[in-house]
Amino acid sequence: MSVKTRIRRDDEVIVIAGRDRGARGKVIRVLPAEGRVLVSKVNMVKRHMRPTQASAGGIVEKEAPLAISNVQFYCPQCKTGVRLGVKRLDDGRKVRICRKCGEVLDH
């Protein structure tokens, strides 16, 4: 199973459901096969790490993936989470737009 999403790496998203509702962050990775996204500084979990040669170990905080359905693209114009649309420009390029204000989001 693979989830279709227009969200991409480096997009700013806002969490719309769950524990971190309202939190914003940059997408680190999209995992379409799992229907999840990894968002910077969102959905942090504590991991207990064993000491290794590379690190001292102890408790490390790490991002855990969130369901794609729990995040929305954050539109800087609307200042809220929005759905994305696609528009074809005159030169044939396809760009993503905010469905609320129509702002072109890819440059």
Q: Which residues contribute to the site for Zn ion (CB under 5 A)? A: 75, 77-78, 98, 100-101, 103
Q: Which is nearer to Zn ion, 27 or 38 (CB)?
A: 27
Rounded to a whole number of angstroms, the minimum distance from the CB of residue 74 to Zn ion is 9
Category of 41 on φ-ψ map: left (φ > 0), alpha (ψ -120 to 50) or beta: left
Rounded to a whole number of angstroms, the minimum distance from the CB of residue 96 to Zn ion is 11
Rounded to a whole number of angstroms, the minimum distance from the CB of residue 46 to Zn ion is 35
- Sorted by sequence, the CB contacts under 8 Å of residue 18 that are 6+ apart come out as 43, 66, 67, 70
